Structure 1
Amino acid sequence: MVEADILTPQRQAAFLAQLAHESAELRFFEELATGEAYEGRHDLGNTKPGDGRRYKGRGPIQLTGRTNYRAASRALGIDLEADPQRAADVDVGFRVAAWFWTSRGLNALADVGDFREITRRINGGFNGLAQREVYYRRALEVLSH
């Protein structure tokens, strides 16, 4: 969180809530589904056969798609495009999550309390919004004291 300037209780609560939902409370650093649903998803950069499975969600933020793996690779200096499994490793996964957070401008949204838009930018929609909000309120309560 220090690397990504996630230093206020509001930013920390939003970040932790999103990660808690995406990774089932930090239990899964690789998506349980096969990734087949992402096959051929050009919006994710999955243009080659097998890309859906190869670039399925990983890490506590569930980085998904060849385009995101490539961008994270460039930003972090770790070749995740060639070795996507590294995104599921704790030492890399949290750096990926911090990079994703800052690359989407999520600190600014956390500062104004726009948790719904944070969810949309991470998830592409509002999947699990109610549970994410429960985590958010709980984290805010703990971190604000």
Structure 2
Amino acid sequence: KPEQIANNVYAGRMGSTAPGDGWKYRGRGLIQLTGKTNYRLCGEALGLDLLTQPELLEKPQHACMAAAWFWSSNGLNSLADKGDIETITRRINGGLTGLADRQSIYARALKVLA
């Protein structure tokens, strides 16, 4: 029951105040933008009405732009330049879930790009 789970997990968090907000503003896009507050701020920055049309983040062009907005607005580029994958993971996920995988992918990317 993903809808129930989202509504329970995100109830009263990240701007979710109304019943159903957790599901409506669930993770979407390349970076899994989550929460009504993030949807509002991202929508304002991109000129999209994500509060009434959250599904716009399922379209590739908006998914990419939302990821770029989140990355930029959270100062993640300077952290990536320093190799601080732990702080990036915390800012995106709020915790360290998937950290080892991200560190491994980062190390491989450096080899390819260097």
Please give the TM-score of this superposition, normalised by the length of structure 1: 0.72
**Pairwise CA distance, 1:112:** 1.7
**Pairwise CA distance, 1:126:** 0.5
Higher relative contact order (CA 8 A, sep 6+): 1
Residue 23 (structure 2) aligns with: 53
Distance 2:23 2:9 in 1: 7
Distance 2:22 2:91 in 1: 20
User: Across the two proteins, how many residue pairs are aligned to each other?
Assistant: 111
- Structure 1 stretches of 4+ moved >2 Å: 33-39
Residue 89 (structure 1) aligns with: 59
Residue 7 (structure 2) aligns with: 36
SS at 1:68 equivalent = helix
Residue 76 of structure 1 pairs with residue 24 of structure 2: no
SS at 1:49 equivalent = coil
For residues 1-145 of structure 1, the aligned pairs below 5 Å read 33-34=2-3, 35-42=6-13, 44-144=14-114
Which structure features the higher share of helix residues?
2
Q: CA offsets, 1:37-64, max 9 Å, x none?
A: 434133x110001000100000010000
RMSD: 1.2
On the 8 A contact 1:39/1:49 being kept in 2, the answer is: no
Distance 2:9 2:72 in 1: 24
Q: Which amino acid aligns with 1:136?
A: Y
Distance 1:38 1:82 in 2: 21
